[in-house]
Chain A
Amino acid sequence: MTTQENNLSRRDFLKLGIGALSALAVLEMGGVSLFFMQPRSLVGEFGGIVNAGPVDSFPAGSVVEFPDGRFFLIHAPDGGFLAVYSRCTHLGCTISWEADKNQFFCPCHASSFSTTGDVQNPPAPRALDLFAITIEEGQLLVNTGSITQRDRFTTDQLTYA
């Protein structure tokens, strides 16, 4: 019989088999646990699509808070809409709208943002995150499940009726 370089003895074959099967079992258990604990998004609440109301109920230049949807609806003077996530881009505290100063303010580390969500005062590293807006039959629908990050405000982020 010719000697084979890669001759695998029965013992080594069984060892390898047990090792491979154990590794597979661990992977399976890990995968199962991972899927088991996967977050599930809730329909109709934050994370779903929120109906903000009819388009013409927001005067140009207004900023309206939707606490349940975690966003501010901004109606820019030129008629475009912007839905900004009410969560500070620095460390996640909830911002508030200060109408007298015309700015969003975060009390945790004193970041402030302009009416378009641009950073006025750091430590916030980027402008406020956006939610996608669609307009159907005159109703403003804000998708709180789709968060878009941006560095600064540009006019193409506005949605028009």
Chain B
Amino acid sequence: MTEQKLTWKEKIFYTTPNDDRSRMRTVANNLILHIHPTKVAKPALRFSYTWGLGGISSVLVMFLILTGVLLMFRYDASVENAYTSIQYLETQVAFGALIRNIHHWSANLLVVTSFLHLIRVFLTGGFKKGRALNWALGLFLLTLVLAFNFTGYLLPWDQLAYWAITVGTSLLSYVPLVGTAVSNFLLGGPEVGQTTLRNFYAIHVAVLPAILILAMSFHFWRVRKDGGISQPEPGERERVEKVTTIPHLVQIELAATAVLTVVILVWAIFVPAPLEALANPSHPPNPAKAAWYFMGLQELLLHMHPLAAMLLPLTLFIGIALLPKLDTQEDNIGIYFRSHKGRFAALFGALIGTILVPLAVLLDEYWLDLPGLFPTWPTLITTGLIPLLATLAMFGLIYGYFRKAGKLNHSEAIVGLFSFIMTSFVTLTLIGIFFRGANMALVLPF
């Protein structure tokens, strides 16, 4: 390549070149833009294909890093001062409340956007054809986001924080053999205390960000190496139209970033991040609830033995990670729901999920009493194994129904089952958030 005379401005910042050739050169030579190829397939730019969810998540991560670094200057990770430093931030520090609100709401929104990103990539079959590694990386990133939220949740050291983390880490101690040891290690003792706060702070501001930045870079790099985002297989002699990244992709990204910034900023100005009373280890609030994104799991815990309530999501997680092996049909990549029939399957799966889950919750709450029916059996079987196997059998039944009665192919039936599982999970979460009151009894939210 001939020597390129680039000004330092061109090397670092986005410049506005006038012809396609120099536009492509800018992308190739620019530190940030080099994340993109110089040209992208035109159909890949359709907003209603990606909904910009991956990009929005990355921008949220940037907001979180910027506000997080600022918060570090004002936060004190000690049991005596943590809560006071947040109060100080809320009342005394200029823009303190705003920065905390942006951090809080961006973190919450990130859980939503990364989950929706997973759904989108699943629905368009973006995990197929050599993208198994990046699919797994994406799942890893989602667990990282949850780990970030979980560790960050403790830091304000209010009642909400203390008890959500107590309940969350107690779950760990149900893992056979190593559970208690890992829990003691994380907490720095048998219960949440000063060591826990310092551990979680170090994990939240140093360990996780380092892993996140590496894993995100890996994730983006794999998208490039896999030939851009997934697209329908082009037919024979069909040529996909390509357009230059500047301006076609970059302007969409800038617009999405601008809209996101306004939304987050306005939201953060008007909706304060919650802060409850100072943590009191001897008096849990009633009800003591986990963070909203773990309420699906908490709702499961009310119905199942903790080991089963952990095994079920773990099984599903492994199943989702193995999807590239389970569904290898390549001719439906890039088509939402695989096909028209798949769209119907997804709708039907969502429908039975929203009906069956509340029914099952009511049934278990008011009528079914397995430990009472078999008082001599250990609870590991009555509230653990039996509901776990029943749930897994339900998944099998639904898949079988789609295959036999719905006459769907394997790939479409998986879409129906996936839709059922995800809708059930969301329904459980909503029940946990809105329909659980004092003593975790079922209540109406209105």
Known: A109-B301, A109-B440, A110-B439. A87 touches B191 (CB 8 A): yes
Whether A108 and B284, one on each chain, are in contact in the complex, defined by CB atoms closer than 8 angstroms, is yes
Known: A108-B440, A109-B301, A110-B440. A91 touches B185 (CB 8 A): no
Contact with A along B425-446 (1 / 0, CB 8 A): 0000000000000111100000
CA A108 – CA B169 in complex, angstroms?
14
Flag whether A17 is at the interface (Cβ < 8 A). no
Flag whether B167 is at the interface (Cβ < 8 A). yes
Flag whether A93 is at the interface (Cβ < 8 A). yes
Selected from B170, B281, B286, B379, the residue in CB contact (under 8 A) with A91 is: B170
Flag whether A30 is at the interface (Cβ < 8 A). no
Known: A39-B184, A107-B286, A110-B440. A91 touches B189 (CB 8 A): no
A92 proximity list for chain B (CB < 8 A): 166-167, 169-170, 173, 191
Would you call the interface of chain B mostly helix, strand, loop, or mixed? helix
Whether B306 and A93, one on each chain, are in contact in the complex, defined by CB atoms closer than 8 angstroms, is no
Nearest A residue to B290 by beta-carbon distance? Answer: A91
Whether A91 and B306, one on each chain, are in contact in the complex, defined by CB atoms closer than 8 angstroms, is yes
Whether A94 and B383, one on each chain, are in contact in the complex, defined by CB atoms closer than 8 angstroms, is no
CA A136 – CA B149 in complex, angstroms?
48
Selected from A47, A107, A123, the residue in CB contact (under 8 A) with B288 is: A107
Contact with A along B252-288 (1 / 0, CB 8 A): 0000000000000000000000000000011111111
Size category, A interface: 20 to 34
B103 proximity list for chain A (CB < 8 A): none
Contact with A along B373-384 (1 / 0, CB 8 A): 000000110010
B379 proximity list for chain A (CB < 8 A): 122, 125
Contact with A along B164-206 (1 / 0, CB 8 A): 0011011101000000000011011111000100010000000
Interface centre among B169, B173, B187, B439 (most CB of A within 10 A): B439
Interface size on B, residues (CB 8 A): 36
Which A residues, 33 to 61, have Cβ-Cβ distances below 8 Å to chain B? 37-41, 46-47
Flag whether B358 is at the interface (Cβ < 8 A). no
Whether A125 and B189, one on each chain, are in contact in the complex, defined by CB atoms closer than 8 angstroms, is no
Whether A93 and B166, one on each chain, are in contact in the complex, defined by CB atoms closer than 8 angstroms, is yes
Give the top 4 A-B pairs by smallest Cβ distance, nearest first. A92-B170, A107-B286, A91-B170, A108-B288
B residues engaging A (CB < 8 A)?
163, 166-167, 169-171, 173, 184-185, 187-191, 195, 199, 281-288, 301-302, 305-306, 371, 379-380, 383, 438-441
Task: Show 23 A/B contacts (Cβ-Cβ < 8 Å), sorted by A.
Answer: A37-B185, A39-B184, A39-B188, A90-B170, A91-B166, A91-B167, A91-B301, A92-B166, A92-B170, A93-B163, A93-B284, A94-B281, A96-B283, A106-B284, A107-B285, A108-B284, A108-B286, A108-B440, A109-B302, A110-B440, A122-B371, A125-B306, A125-B379
